[in-house]
Amino acid sequence: MSKIIRIGTRDSQLALWQAKTVQSQLEHLGHKTVLVPVKSTGDLVLNKPLYELGITGIFTKTLDIAMLNEDIDIAVHSLKDVPTVLPKGIVQTAVLKRGNVNDTLVFKHNEEFLSARDAVIATGSLRRRAQWLNRYPTHTVVGIRGNVNSRLQKLEDNDWNAAIFAGAGIGRLNLTPENSINLGWMIPAPAQGAIMITALEADEEIRAICAELNHEETDICTRIEREFLNRLEGGCTAPIGALAYIKNEEINFKGILLSKDGTKKIEVSKVAPLNKKDDIAEFCADYIIGKGGKTLMDQIKQGDKATNIYSTKKLTEGQSALFHNTVVAESNDAIKISLNRISKHTIKAEIKNVIITSKNAVEALLTNFSPEELQFKNIYCVGRRTKRMVEKRIGKVTHTEPNAKKLADYLVDYIEGTEVTYFCSDLRLDDLPNTLAENHIKVNEIEAYQTKFDADKVENSLDGVMFYSPSTVESFLKQNKANGIAFCIGETTAKVAQKHFEDVRIAKVPTVESVIELVNEYYI
């Protein structure tokens, strides 16, 4: 193949290690390759919502979008992180030979705590937590997040006895400490230790090339494990483990379902000839369900679902589906918009320069006037979504910037003339008109809409709040205290949030999806 194969990967240390492993094997076969680290979903544009395409995986969605946009040819994943149903148009092309399937316990001092009544174990995995508590019910399990290095450091810095890692992950990075043991008794996550390659279903040439890397035994076993998971979970996140391996031309399988606190456990084991491999997952899943698994799954779904993230903008069903499985999000519009009546005489004379900073202003203009009446020579916008709406319904945008401050700075240098009309809200920051006025640019402000504070009072203690404008911050704080993290859509919003919140984080691009990704990064 003469073309260079573009290998998509997340930019974490472990993801890059896995991608480089695939790269090495492809180049050994004589193919030219290049790594393409993919960062944010916000910069990747699709013409359909993510949920319509079946894009749901927290760790995989950025690569799925890049592939559907044909920015990459293949993507490399930890197979255990990949949803059991792939997005439309994307298929599994290969699974490399599996590494260490076990979970690994890393302890600080020695193993004596295993026989003690009280001990503290750290893990961010629901499955590991449940199995540990089932075996050691008097121990305390605490959450831990971050990449492998940061979790090892957290173990060092905290008064914990041990933490649990995927053996393959710490092994591949050569970070396995001497004071560690494999937990052979703990049933791993389905497909743990396996590296998967995906490609576009329509790209037959790439699929054929990747198929040369496929390890058949790993492929067979991980397919059984993932089918078992798919048949059990039904869209619900639950403590499920599965492991299949081949010995003496037979498939050996064991699976487990537990309650979140580990007090209930249903296990299944089965040995079958290789030629009966296609029946194992269904048989074992049905066995679990028949032994009380359905009731247990229903209890898990109805479990304690305390809200930990609040969005000051009502989220769509598709947006809500993008959250990490540990997020329980509540959302509502913290501000209500009322469009003003705009007098005809305000736009009778030709307006040369117009500033529009929100879609609400666009709606207000179109409520009062037809597009034909809105013949502005230069339209300056804030935000690409506002720009798209203006160009679709009014006319061409001369220039756009991600926030009002940057737009003001641009206009100071490049505006045609010395006067501009600003269609704004009754509530706004003064940065833009003040900056222009200080540089001798006259600003004619027209109040296009009113912003009314209408935030909910949130009863639960929150990990964080999602903000989309300075007004949403002000509205929320009229009913609630500034606790947790402020996840902000942009710098202007963050500037207001920083006056009240100690921890303020800004999305990479100004979209709701990017704010959701920011939230997910906290829980990974």
Per-residue pLDDT of the chain (524 residues; tens, 9 = 90+): 668 999 999 888 899 999 999 999 999 999 999 999 986 544 444 444 433 444 445 557 788 888 988 999 999 999 998 888 888 899 999 999 999 999 999 998 888 899 899 999 999 888 999 999 999 999 999 988 778 888 899 999 999 999 999 999 999 999 999 999 999 999 999 999 999 999 999 999 999 999 999 999 999 999 999 999 999 975 457 899 999 999 999 999 999 999 988 999 999 999 999 999 999 999 999 999 999 998 888 777 766 567 889 999 999 878 888 888 778 888 999 988 889 998 888 776 678 899 999 889 999 999 999 998 888 899 999 988 899 999 999 999 999 998 888 999 999 999 988 999 999 988 765 678 999 999 999 999 999 998 889 888 987 789 999 999 888 999 999 999 998 999 999 888 999 999 999 999 999 888 899 999 999 988 87
357 touches 424 (CB < 8 A): yes
* Per-residue pLDDT, 50: 36
* Per-residue pLDDT, 161: 95
Residues 144 and 27 in one domain: no
Grouping H, G, I as helix, E, B as strand and the rest as coil, residue 123 is coil
Residues 198 and 254 in one domain: no
The answer to whether the Cα torsion of 291, 293, 298, 303 is positive or negative is positive
Q: What is the DSSP string of 1-50?
A: --SPEEEEE-SSHHHHHHHHHHHHHHHHTT--EEEEE---GGG---SS-H
* Per-residue pLDDT, 383: 86
Residues 297 and 235 in one domain: yes
Grouping H, G, I as helix, E, B as strand and the rest as coil, residue 167 is helix
The one-letter code for the residue type at 287 is Y
Q: Any long-range contacts for 346-350 (C-beta under 8 Å, 24+ apart)?
A: 346/446, 347/373, 347/374, 350/375, 350/377
Residues 371 and 483 in one domain: no
> CA Rg, the chain, in Å?
27
Instruction: Name the burial class of residue 267, with classes exposed (0-12), middle (13-18) and buried (19+) by CB atoms within 10 angstroms of its CB.
Output: middle
pTM of the model: 0.61
For residue 509, give Cα distances in angstroms to 87, 334, 486, 499.
24, 21, 16, 22
Residues 371 and 357 in one domain: yes
Question: Does any domain span residue 284?
Answer: yes
Residues 397 and 272 in one domain: no
Residues 69 and 107 in one domain: no
Question: Does any domain span residue 188?
Answer: no
Residues 470 and 326 in one domain: yes
223 touches 286 (CB < 8 A): no
Structure tokens at 394: 């009014």
* Per-residue pLDDT, 252: 97
Grouping H, G, I as helix, E, B as strand and the rest as coil, residue 464 is strand
CATH number of the domain bearing residue 407: 3.40.50.10090
Structure tokens at 449: 């809409």
Report d(CA 63, CA 469) in Å as an integer. 29
* Per-residue pLDDT, 2: 67
Domain range for 158 is: 103-183
Residues 372 and 352 in one domain: yes
Helix spans in 35-142 (H): 50-53, 61-68, 126-135
* Per-residue pLDDT, 48: 44
Residues annotated as part of the active site: 81
Residues 64 and 133 in one domain: no
